[in-house]
Homo-oligomer: A and B are copies of this chain.
Amino acid sequence: MTTTATTIAPALFVKMILDRWDASIANCDTLLNSLSDETLQKEIAPGKNRGIYLLGHLIAVHDDLLVLLDMGEKLYPELNEPFIKSPDKTVQQLPAVSELRSFWVQQSQAIKQKFDNLKPEEWFEKHTAVNAEDFEKEPHRNKLNIVVTRTSHLQYHLGQLRLLK
Contact = CB atoms under 8 A, between A and B. Distances in A.
A149 B10 contact: no
Contact of A159 (B4, B142, B151, B159): B159
A4 B4 CA distance: 15
Given A12-B140, A45-B44, A5 B159 contact: no
Report copies per complex: 2
A118 interface: no
Contact of A152 (B5, B7, B10, B152): B152
Contact of A11 (B5, B11, B19, B20): B5
A101 interface: no
Interface string A18-30: 0110001000000
Which 6 A-B pairs give the minimum distances between C-beta atoms?
A: A156-B159, A45-B45, A159-B159, A155-B155, A13-B13, A159-B160
17 contacts: A6-B6, A6-B10, A8-B124, A12-B139, A13-B13, A15-B140, A16-B145, A16-B148, A19-B140, A46-B46, A151-B152, A155-B159, A156-B156, A156-B158, A156-B162, A157-B159, A159-B159
Interface of A: 4-13, 15-17, 19-20, 24, 44-46, 48, 120-121, 124, 139-140, 142, 144-145, 148-149, 151-153, 155-160, 162-163
